[in-house]
Structure 1
Amino acid sequence: MIKYLGSKRRLVPVLETLFDFSGARTALDLFTGTTRVAQAFKGRGATVTAVDSARYAEAFAQCYVATDARDLDAGDLAAAVDHLDGLPGEEGYVTEVFCRRSRFLRPENGVRIDAIRRALDEDFAGSPLFPVLLTSLVEAADRVDSTTGVQMAYLKAWAARADRALCLRVPDLLDGAGTAVRGDALELVRDGSLGGFDLAYLDPPYNRHRYTANYHVWETLVAWDAPEHYGVACKRTEVRDEPTSVFNRKREMPAALAEVVAGVDAGVVVLSYNDESWITRDELVDLCAVRGEVRVLVFQQDRYVGARIGIHGPDGRPVGEVSHTRNVEYVVLAGDAATVRRMEAAVGDRSR
């Protein structure tokens, strides 16, 4: 799984417990990102729908959520991974843009990424193996990149992992079918096309930075459209030119989130947020009250590594000081009183 801003890796055991004690059999992950939480629910036996507006997130969801491991031949998958991993390098867009014009990846890995991505379209387009192999490639590239984990910039000096050779691995797939949807969360809730669920998990963006900018290299690797780019980081021009999501706009985000919370068709809502964002804890409680009983679980978390490193100028010197290294993660439960209280009790004394 790729390095990801806002990853819920540390919260997954808690979210699994909440899911178990909710009694849910179907689940919606409305801002799925890497699908870490969607995978956790699927692993607990849920039928999961994973939604996101990013192309790379859709690819991950097609791999980990929509693909039923029982439908693939493990030998065929392993052979395909070995075949792609053995291809000789060929220079292309990744090598030119992300290795030479910028420095996200070493050229020796860039040429292999170019060759493998071309082969995916030529040899596996339309195959059920395609999203699994594409995910394998993105994850392999992430293991040899030179960033702090976001692609707003690359490191001034090469990260040690960038010296490693690109190596594809077979993704760990789960049994069971699911659904991957690429679209805008608010519009999908408004039109009701997602259907109903026992549990909906919401983890909306916390600020103005869109994830397709934070992970524009993976967005391009999935789209494979050789886009025009701008700036030192060679971001896709659509990041600059297209309107941002309502969830990345401070004035509009609270109303949009309130509409999603009120409108999503689910028995219980689980909402992740933190204390560095645009909505306060009390405001979260107020907007979730429309669902019924509300409880807030509180967790102390280390801030993202980039925040702990701080901001540096073009000369590599620190600019200002790191203000704090930890924040508070809220997990809000909203729904039927008996269900919410049962879920809360299962994770212990975390309410405030």
Structure 2
Amino acid sequence: MVKYIGSKRALLPWITGVVAHINGISPIKDAVDLFSGSARVGHALKNMGFFVTANDLHTYAWVLAQTLVQANRNQYPPERILPILKRLQRLKGQPGWFTRTYCQESRFIQPHNGAKIEAIRERIELEAATDQILRAILLFSLMVAADKVDSTTGIQMAYLKRWAPRSFNSLRLEYPPLLAGDGLALQADALEIAPHLQADLIYLDPPYNQHSYLGNYHLWETLVRWDKPQTYGVARKRTEVQKHKSPFNSRRTARGAMERLLSSLRAKHLVLSFNNEGFFRAEEIEAMLKEWGYVVRMSQTHRRYVGARIGIYNPQGQKVGQVSHTENQEYLFVATHSKKVFNALRSKETRRLAG
């Protein structure tokens, strides 16, 4: 899967463990991942046997969710997908707008891989002209392959001064980790769609500070939409990054957005991820959630993403900022209408803290 800040990769055992504990007390049939992002959590929830609805506003995230949550491995098995990937892999590179913009004017990917990406991306439209899920699966494979040969620290706000060693490798397409069973991927504003969704469990991982996910992963948005957008700056970001901001990305509007969201949710249980770099203190989140149900707060310490640990550099490769801290305090809040679930989770967390 792609490198993704906030992907919850390291936190998955913790999150799924908590959900499994809830499920053991109050059985869960379906779940919603409302800000699905990399779709890792939605994928893990589907793997637990739930029917999962994954939603995200950005097109690249929708493609990830279509692959990891909606696609059914029984309908798209390796014997169907691998021959297509092999045909795409054999294509010769065709350098064009993407190569010029992201491999020469900026240096996210080496030109030989950029040209290969362009050839494959063009052919995907022919291979999957009438099958949206097949198209998503092929795009997912291309995104992951490109991610493995990029030259960044994990986000696309900037690229490394010198080519990363992995960027010299050749692009390789692989079969995605599809799961058997059904799911649903939606592309909508979370605040607008939330009142129309209902599930036993809703997982929330909203943007928590001023950084836009569209800005952090603008390459994937362009690769998926293939629309040759107007760009700006050294990183050649899409100009829409400057215009479209989530209310969760502003300290001024985040509280109102969170309160509006929580008041619209219909579920037995909420699980919300946050950390101590966000706009809200843990106590503030607890207070908002208590309007919804019984609340348990859990926490763990985790290392920050690699870009935050190595420091801040300008486009000339000069260090311009200091590392303030290398670890985050990650929070998991469970809000539930079930006092039995509340008591069980509170006791579990108390025992953990007691060692």
TM-score normalised to structure 1 length: 0.95
Q: Which structure 2 residues correspond to residues 1-352 of structure 1 after superposition, within 5 A?
A: 1-23=1-23, 24-127=28-131, 128-189=133-194, 192-194=195-197, 196-240=198-242, 242-335=243-336, 336-345=338-347, 349-350=351-352
Once the two structures are TM-superposed, the CA of residue 150 in structure 1 deviates from its matched residue by 0.4
Q: In angstroms, what is the RMSD of aligned CA positions?
A: 1.5
Amino acid at match of 1:243: H
Once the two structures are TM-superposed, the CA of residue 234 in structure 1 deviates from its matched residue by 0.6
Amino acid at match of 1:66: Q
Q: For residues 235-289 of structure 1, what are the alpha-carbon distances to aligned partners after superposition, in whole Å with 9 as ceiling and x for unaligned? A: 111112x231111111110121122122211110000001111101110110000
Once the two structures are TM-superposed, the CA of residue 346 in structure 1 deviates from its matched residue by 5.4
Amino acid at match of 1:17: G
TM-score normalised to structure 2 length: 0.94
Q: For residues 277-325 of structure 1, what are the alpha-carbon distances to aligned partners after superposition, in whole Å with 9 as ceiling and x for unaligned? A: 1101110110000222111001001112111111124442322421111
Identical pairs, percent: 43
Contact 1:16 / 1:41 at 8 angstroms: preserved in 2?
Answer: yes
Contact 1:17 / 1:347 at 8 angstroms: preserved in 2?
Answer: no
Q: Does the C-alpha gap of structure 1 residues 344 and 132 become closer, same or farther in structure 2, counting only changes over 3 Å?
A: farther
Contact 2:277 / 2:328 at 8 angstroms: preserved in 1?
Answer: yes
Once the two structures are TM-superposed, the CA of residue 344 in structure 1 deviates from its matched residue by 4.8
Q: Does the C-alpha gap of structure 1 residues 274 and 174 become closer, same or farther in structure 2, counting only changes over 3 Å?
A: same
Contact 1:298 / 1:351 at 8 angstroms: preserved in 2?
Answer: no
Contact 1:262 / 1:288 at 8 angstroms: preserved in 2?
Answer: no
How far, CA to CA, are the matches of 1:155 and 1:129 in structure 2?
A: 33
Q: Does the C-alpha gap of structure 1 residues 343 and 67 become closer, same or farther in structure 2, counting only changes over 3 Å?
A: farther
With 247-256 and 135-144 compared, the bigger mean Cα shift is at: 247-256
Q: For residues 60-92 of structure 1, what are the alpha-carbon distances to aligned partners after superposition, in whole Å with 9 as ceiling and x for unaligned? A: 111110111112243121101111111111112
SS in 2 for 1:70: coil
How far, CA to CA, are the matches of 1:221 and 1:330 in structure 2?
A: 33
Amino acid at match of 1:131: A
With 155-164 and 9-18 compared, the bigger mean Cα shift is at: 9-18
How far, CA to CA, are the matches of 1:248 and 1:94 in structure 2?
A: 28
Once the two structures are TM-superposed, the CA of residue 161 in structure 1 deviates from its matched residue by 0.6
Once the two structures are TM-superposed, the CA of residue 123 in structure 1 deviates from its matched residue by 2.3
SS in 2 for 1:252: helix
How far, CA to CA, are the matches of 1:73 and 1:187 in structure 2?
A: 35
Amino acid at match of 1:59: V
SS in 2 for 1:268: strand
**Where does the alignment leave 5 or more consecutive residues of structure 1 unmatched?**
none
Amino acid at match of 1:333: V
Contact 2:88 / 2:123 at 8 angstroms: preserved in 1?
Answer: yes
Once the two structures are TM-superposed, the CA of residue 186 in structure 1 deviates from its matched residue by 0.8
Contact 1:298 / 1:350 at 8 angstroms: preserved in 2?
Answer: no
How far, CA to CA, are the matches of 1:219 and 1:14 in structure 2?
A: 30
Q: Does the C-alpha gap of structure 1 residues 314 and 101 become closer, same or farther in structure 2, counting only changes over 3 Å?
A: closer
Contact 1:294 / 1:334 at 8 angstroms: preserved in 2?
Answer: yes
With 332-341 and 174-183 compared, the bigger mean Cα shift is at: 332-341
How far, CA to CA, are the matches of 1:67 and 1:300 in structure 2?
A: 34
How far, CA to CA, are the matches of 1:266 and 1:118 in structure 2?
A: 42
Contact 2:296 / 2:345 at 8 angstroms: preserved in 1?
Answer: no
Amino acid at match of 1:124: A
Contact 1:22 / 1:340 at 8 angstroms: preserved in 2?
Answer: no
How far, CA to CA, are the matches of 1:286 and 1:199 in structure 2?
A: 20
How far, CA to CA, are the matches of 1:347 and 1:175 in structure 2?
A: 33
Contact 2:158 / 2:315 at 8 angstroms: preserved in 1?
Answer: no
